[in-house]
Amino acid sequence: MIRIKFEILEETINKVFLRQGIEPGKSELLAKIMSESSLDGFQSHGINRVPMMVEYIRKDFIKPGNEMFQIGGNNLYKQFDGNFGIGPINAWNSTTEVMRIANENGLGLVALRNNNHWQRAGTYGWKAANEGFILICWTNTIPNLPPYGSKKNLVGNNPLVIAIPRKGGNIVLDMAMSQFSYGKIASYARRNKELPEFGGYDENNNLTKDAQAIRKKGRHLPIGFWKGSSLSFILDIVAAILSGGNTTRIIGEKGVDTGLSQIFIAIDPSKFGDSGFREALITQTIEQFKSVSIKEGSDIRYPGEATLRRRKENLGKGIPLEEEIWEKVNGYL
């Protein structure tokens, strides 16, 4: 592993995307999104995804010149078609729009169809929480997860984000419906490192921590077994219905992780009560949540707490990256 300063990483990724024909404003925003994911410790959805995005641009799955456009809505909700443009930028703009709606009405919804992969789902939760909004968002994906008891991948790992603003540090839940994201397992597999918990099945359909075996079999473990695959199933249907877009089944027929359906729900908590009461309530809940650990010295963390710690550390020491990935990304320059 090597450590790279945030500014150097952001500048490098920006140059890579400029080389792919992305216009400067878009390339800068995309570089910011990908670099901040790596800064927060999510290299699997930051710099590690740059080669995949370059490949998708070159194969015309991602169309950098395309803009999303509105297809329906009213003062409380909007429907957009992502037009197969740059996934993270469409998702970023959808978050901005849903916050605008919530600012005017207390809450709002944006449904987005035909988008590309939005990379780290938590990006949009942190953006909203930093601006004082609660955000609930999710996406469907290509089928990459088996319903519990099935031998075939029929549902997506459909990441779900719930973000809550807080003066002492935002609360941001960012979770896929698989025990580990595909990017995380790929990272462990490249380093020939065992997962900390069971993450999927080997070729004999036995649960395993072997990341390489899981990648080879392609059968990941849903969180909570049947509960995780059921939640994934429901999120997929709701996203497709509200956006008028594709379900995981339809995405799977194309064989490429594109044409996704995504939902953004924003709430302005300032419209629902006093901020002092809200902050006190959250602080008291966190204190109780962290109050009793299994063993002395162990740390109980609320969602997003570890991200804040990693962000602070990596800003000071530099962002830890796999040298192989860093060299590959620089090879596009």
- By annotation, the residues acting in catalysis are 45
CA distance 266 to 276: 21
Q: Enumerate residues 6+ apart whose C-beta is below 8 A from 125.
A: 135, 137, 161, 162, 163, 170, 172, 173, 174
CA distance 266 to 128: 8
Residue 17 amino acid letter: F
CA distance 40 to 233: 29
**Nearest-5° angle of CA 189, CA 118, CA 184?**
15
Residue carrying the six token digits 């995309």? 30
> What is the longest distance spanned by two Cα atoms in the chain?
56
- The residue count of the chain comes to 333
At 94, phi and psi to the nearest 5? -65, -40
CA distance 243 to 113: 5
Q: Enumerate residues 6+ apart whose C-beta is below 8 A from 271.
A: 106
- Alpha helix locations (H) across 143-208? 182-190
Q: Contact at 8 Å (CB) between 181 and 144?
A: no
With CA atoms as reference, report the closest residue to 122 among 304, 331, 310, 290.
Answer: 304
- HSE (side-chain half, CA atoms, 13 Å) at 82: 35
- Alpha helix locations (H) across 22-147? 24-39, 50-58, 87-105, 122-130
Q: Enumerate residues 6+ apart whose C-beta is below 8 A from 305.
A: 169
For the record, the structure tokens of 79 come out as: 């429907």
